[in-house]
Amino acid sequence: MADVKKYNSSTWARFKKNKAAVAGLVIIILSVVLAVFAYLIAPDGSSNANRIVPEISNQRSGFSVYLLQVKKNGKQPAYSALSVLVSGREDPYTYIPLVRYSATKDSIIFDRYIDEGISDRQSISKKLLGDNPVIHERFLLGTDKFGRDILSRLIVGIRVSLNVGLIAVVISLTIGILLGALAGYYRGFVDDIIMWFINIIWSIPTLLLVFAITLVLGKGFWQIFIAVGLTMWVNIARLIRGQVMSLKEKEFIEAGRAMGFSDLRIISRHILPNILGPVAVIAASNFASAIVIEAGLSFLGVGVQPPQPSWGLMIKENYNFIITHNPLLAIIPGLAIMVLVLAFNMVGNGLRDALNVRSKVL
């Protein structure tokens, strides 16, 4: 058993040497952690990071303000820890920004913030307020046009990007491996049909195809995953087909046939494990392109629907500020996409180099 470890650990050792790949891996692990605990980490832990405070819209990064927490009408449902982790909790308060305030016995008198330099004196009964009536909030990356915290939306938005990558890769790998292996192993008639199908899919521009699929499945979160997955299997299928075709010529495959192994066993036990390397590499790069495609679709409005935060959607909502006073609103999600995509591509390259012993081993 020690040798299994040796084989894998030498791959790991080679991977470790590649600084860029390790940096990419660190970024990916960080973003996974951020995505999983998004609602606990984000300053705004409401569902979809959707705390709207219209008065403080379009603020620059580092902006800070006092907020009065006013209870919402109706009873607040109880949340389990798990549901908070998964989808956050509905905000129990509405927020009123204020400039200064003073407390009396049973009410609070405050100067309501309306705009830079404009305020309006109001008072409110303490009964309507939360236990901690006034909080001081700092918006590290500023706010968008609804006064929502950009940082929180950015953190919650990681979920969409990672999910779309993961699910699209799983779907495309499943279809790609299945069809690619069938075509490469059986050749002939099966190969002709599959290749014909692949060539047709390939001839349709990706975005157009995703549009068509979302038209059938409807707009939304899950539909996007499936649509992206359904367009990306083509590359994988072609790659797998080529690899299977060259491996099939190896004598150990023939030896398997001579020993009466079934085709299923030969493909799954002897061919697929031997093409893991290239598959891992293409999976990593597909992960990256899925993120880009999702961002593009959300930008065009066929992707993730508001109020759910997605990086592409955030760019769409804020891109017209790029030339006005607050370009950061759109640039920040853009940078986030770039960093994550870069991270996956670097890991992909690192994997390719680390797994490159295959030729030596064969």
Partner 1 sequence: MNILLQVRDLSVSFKTENSDTMALDNINFSVNEGEIVAIVGESGSGKSVTALSILRLLPSPPAAFKGEIIFTENDKEIDLLSADSNLLQSIRGHKIAMIFQEPMTSLNPVKNVGNQVAESIRLHLQCDEKAAKEKTIHLFEQVQLPEPSFTYKKYPHQLSGGQKQRVMIAMAMSCSPRLLICDEPTTALDVTVQKNILKLIKDLQQENNMGVIFITHDLAVVAEIADRIIVMYKGKIVEQNSAKEILTNPRHPYTKALLSCRPADHPKNERLPVVSDFMDVDDEGIITEKKISIKQGLQERPKQTQNILLKAEHISVLFPAKKSLLGKTISYTKAVDDVSFEILEGETLGLVGESGCGKTTLGRTVLALNKPDTGSIFFKGRDIFALPKNELRALRKDMQIIFQDPYSSLDPRQMVGRAIMEPLQVHHLLDNDKQRKDKVMHLLEKVNLKPEHFFRYPHEFSGGQRQRIAIARALALEPSFVVCDESVAALDVSVQAQVLNLINDIKKEFGFTAIFISHDLSVVRYISDRIMVMNKGRIVESGPSEQVYHDPASPYTRQLIASMPKLVGS
Q: Hey, which residues does 120 pair with through a beta bridge?
A: 112
Chain positions 268 to 297 lying near partner 1, rule: CB under 8 A, are 269-270, 273-274
246 near partner 1 (CB under 8 A): no
C-beta closer to partner 1: residue 275 or 282: 275
Matching residue, tokens 């204020």: 98
C-beta closer to partner 1: residue 3 or 106: 3
Contact 82, 50 (CB under 8 A): no
Among 26, 265, 338, 339, binds partner 1 (CB under 8 A): 265
Residue 112 phi, psi dihedral angles, 5° rounding = -70, 130
> Per-residue contact track with partner 1, 197 to 226, x per CB under 8 A?
------------------------------
Among 205, 257, 268, 335, binds partner 1 (CB under 8 A): 257
Stretches 28-36, 73-81, 226-234, 261-269: which one binds partner 1 (CB under 8 A)? 261-269
Least distance to partner 1 from the beta carbon of 361, Å?
5
C-beta closer to partner 1: residue 37 or 196: 196
Tell me if residue 321 falls in helix, strand or coil: helix
Among 81, 259, 264, 323, binds partner 1 (CB under 8 A): 259
| Amino acid letter, residue 56 | I
Among 30, 199, 200, 254, binds partner 1 (CB under 8 A): 254
Q: What letter does residue 266 receive in the DSSP assignment?
A: I
Among 74, 78, 251, 264, binds partner 1 (CB under 8 A): 251
Strand order in the sheet with 63-71: 118-125, 107-115, 93-103, 63-71, 129-139
Q: Which residues contact 134 (CB under 8 A, 6 or more apart)?
A: 66, 67, 68, 69, 98, 101, 108, 110
C-beta closer to partner 1: residue 120 or 254: 254
Alpha-carbon distance of 324 to 58, in angstroms, equals: 11
Q: Which residues contact 335 (CB under 8 A, 6 or more apart)?
A: none
Contact 287, 344 (CB under 8 A): yes
- For Cα atoms 147, 157, 298, give the angle at the middle one, nearest 5 degrees: 90
Stretches 1-9, 71-79, 212-220, 344-352: which one binds partner 1 (CB under 8 A)? 1-9
The count of chain residues that interact with partner 1, using the rule CB under 8 A, is 25
255 near partner 1 (CB under 8 A): yes
Footprint of partner 1 on this chain (CB under 8 A)? Answer: 1-4, 7, 250-252, 254-255, 257-262, 265, 269-270, 273-274, 358, 360-362
